[in-house]
Structure 1
Amino acid sequence: MATTPTVCDFGWPAADFTLPGTDGKSYSLADVAGSNGSLIMFICNHCPYVLGVIDRIVRDATELQGVGIGVAAICSNDAASYPADNFDNMVVKAAEWGLPFPYLHDEDQSVARAYGAACTPDFFGFNAGGALQYRGRLDASRAGAGSPDLRRDLFEAMRLVADTGKGPAEQVPSMGCSIKWK
């Protein structure tokens, strides 16, 4: 079922976490924060919305890391009900997708709840001070990748955050599959 998260609550402070990554290490918010901000995204292995744009997520994350934005992805779905999203499958997908950022497992869903994550993908862009500046879409793609010339909403917003510390006033919410709660 498609879900749309709420709009950006500018200034909301990033919630800390410590979660295991698919690379065998644990990561906190401080570990993934960049000098110019942080992008925390909630994704999963099976969602058609994520699968349709994972190549764009990787492209944009790689470019954003180059301008000082730290990036991490978190899977919070109930793996008992959705085995495709279990940790072992996360390890496989992280390698298959060539993720250039930590892919973290939120088994007890506490981080998703702390962030108010609603769907996959759900993007949270913070400035260097840890204040929320972007909670919008990647681009106008939906359950499949849209045309290659779509405006890169997430990328442009996070470049603005890296440059100015502030996100755009106008933001279009992301859309995706609902988080699979326990």
Structure 2
Amino acid sequence: MLLDTPLCDFGWQAPDFTLQDPDGQSFTMSEHLGQHGLLVAFLCNHCPYVQAIAERFAQDTDTLMAEGVNVLGVMSNDYHLVASDSPPEMKRFAQRSGWQFPYLVDEDQSVGKAYGAVCTPDFFGFNKDGALQYRGRLDDARMGDAAGRTPELLNAMRQIAQTGEGPRQQNPSMGCSIKWN
């Protein structure tokens, strides 16, 4: 089912969390909230919207991380229901897609629920103080069409890194519903 994300709730404080990647290494959100902010992306492997943007997202996150913006990917789908979202598949998908950021398993779905994640992909851009400044889409391109795109997420995170505030005009992300247990 195709869903759109709600509008950005500017200033909403990011709930802290600790999750593990598929190899069992723990990552704590507050430890990744750097001087230039943090992007938390709710993702999964099987969603055609995530598949369509995976390589562009890798490029944009590589750029952001090189500029000092930290990135954490979170997979909140019930992977017992959707086997293609299992931790071993997450690891393979991230490698195939070129993702260099931690891709974390939210097995009990508590992080997805705490953040009010709606769909995959669902992007949350925070400033250095953990205040939400962006909740929108990756870009304005159609699925799979990178030509002539406006990199909305990249530009928003750069603005947040420089000013601490996100753009007031934001377009909601859209994607597949999170598969709750």
The bucket for the TM-score relative to the shorter chain is: over 0.9
Q: Does 1:163 align with 2:159?
A: no
Aligned to 2:87: 87
Distance in 2 of aligned mates of 1:32 and 1:24: 17
User: 1:98 Cα shift?
Assistant: 2.3
Aligned residue pairs, count? 181
Specify every segment of 5 or more residues in structure 1 that has no aligned partner in the other structure, as ranges. none
Amino acid at match of 1:59: Q
Distance in 2 of aligned mates of 1:44 and 1:15: 21
Identity in percent: 50
Aligned to 1:29: 29
User: 1:141 Cα shift?
Assistant: 3.4
Conserved 8 A contact 1:22-1:94: no
Distance in 2 of aligned mates of 1:32 and 1:62: 15
Amino acid at match of 1:14: A
| RMSD of aligned residue pairs (Cα, Å) | 1.1
Pairing 1:22-171 to 2, within 5 Å after superposition: 22-142=22-142, 144-171=143-170
Specify every segment of 5 or more residues in structure 2 that has no aligned partner in the other structure, as ranges. none
Conserved 8 A contact 1:75-1:106: yes
Pairing 1:11-26 to 2, within 5 Å after superposition: 11-26=11-26
User: 1:140 Cα shift?
Assistant: 1.9
Distance in 2 of aligned mates of 1:32 and 1:106: 17
TM-score (norm 1): 0.96
Distance in 2 of aligned mates of 1:45 and 1:39: 18
TM-score (norm 2): 0.96
Amino acid at match of 2:86: N
User: 1:78 Cα shift?
Assistant: 0.8
SS at match of 1:92: helix
Distance in 1 of aligned mates of 2:106 and 2:16: 13
Amino acid at match of 1:79: Y
User: 1:57 Cα shift?
Assistant: 0.6
Amino acid at match of 2:154: F
Distance in 1 of aligned mates of 2:81 and 2:176: 15
Amino acid at match of 2:126: F
Amino acid at match of 1:165: G
